[in-house]
Amino acid sequence: MPRTIWSGSISFGLVTVPIHVASATENHSIQFHQYHLQDMGRVRTRKVCELEDREVSQGEIGKGYELSEDNVVPVPDAELRDLPLPTAKAIEIQAFVPLESIDPIRIAEGYYLAPDGAVAAKPYKLLVQALGRSSKVAIAKYAWSGRERLGLLRVRDDVIVLHAMRWPDEVRDPAAVDPPTGDVSDEEIEGALALMETMTRDDLEGSEFEDAYTDALAKVIEAKREGRELPEVAEPAEQPGEVLDLMAALQESVSKAKTARGEGDTREPKKTQAKRAARKPARKPRSA
């Protein structure tokens, strides 16, 4: 079990499930520090009081809300912990909804919820099985790190997962983006669907879904550590130019995708063939 980052309970009507919370993900990216290039001395961030112009210890630092530049309201951690929120100690389920009703843009990081002790085993399993049988997810409220949050509970391999969610007002209106107004033909849509079909997968396993950047960076660091030549950089794939004929680009993409998958048939989709045939004018019989 990963390190516990919060302990509390799930509140489901009158049912309470004591739980521990642990992060469901981990970061494997290579982390860098900052160094003075002249002598490779570590460069660190120091916390300095702007009024006294001196470095202060962590024990001297607290939270505050700035009303104006000269007026700051101190808010101690103890007061944040004592806020009259029922969600400060419990993840309170508010509703159950179909997962497809949730816009994915609102779903954020995930956490595993583990039952806390033998007393939690049965109600925990009850919630797992009820969620699984209902094919729904639970929407809950909880309070961590000084703010109340909205969350989504779902089941993954018999374990309850909590996903943090963004509040509705935290998601920007897509109207802020000016979508293009051009039209596309049914033939071009069929071509795009054919390309999607050749790129359809049943899973996300394979080298194309691995972190090539981190792997290449690790090889560079290892070579420098051992005093070897840096690995050769692969030539980047030729970037496509401006698309002048969208249909031709789609057909070429389908052909390349099928070749990559070892499929020999690179013909157009039958629907596209039929539409091409329908558009051809009928030949007039030759006069005698």
pLDDT single digits (tens) 186-241: 988 998 898 888 888 888 888 888 888 888 889 888 998 888 888 887 676 665 55
What does the DSSP assignment read for 175-228?
A: GGS--------HHHHHHHHHHHHHT--S---SGGGS-HHHHHHHHHHHHHHHTP
At 58 the pLDDT is 92
**What pLDDT is stored for residue 286 in this prediction?**
46
Q: Which amino acid is at 154?
A: R
Task: State the pLDDT at residue 285.
Answer: 46
**What pLDDT shows up at residue 23?**
93
Q: Three-state SS for 111?
A: strand
Fold category of 6-25+81-169 in CATH: Ku70; Chain: A; Domain 2 (2.40.290)
CB 12 within 8 A of CB 93: yes
User: In the chain, which stretches have pLDDT less than 70?
Assistant: 1, 86, 234, 236-244, 263-288
Supply the pLDDT for residue 237: 63
Q: In the chain, where are the structural domains located?
A: 6-25+81-169
The Cα–Cα gap between 137 and 153 comes to 6
Secondary structure letter of residue 235 according to DSSP: P
Q: How far is it, in rounded angstroms, from Cα 161 to Cα 172?
A: 26
How many CB atoms sit inside 10 A of residue 87's CB?
19
Query: Which two structure tokens, joined as six digits, stand for 150?
Result: 């909205």
Distance CA 274, CA 28 (A): 50
The tokens for 84 are 């009259």
Q: Are strands 159-165 and 107-115 parallel, antiparallel or unpaired?
A: antiparallel
**HEC string for 131-164:** HHHHCCEEEEEEEECCEEEEEEEEEECCEEEEEE
> Residue 238: what pLDDT?
63
Report how far Cα 77 is from the mean position of its chain's Cα atoms: 30
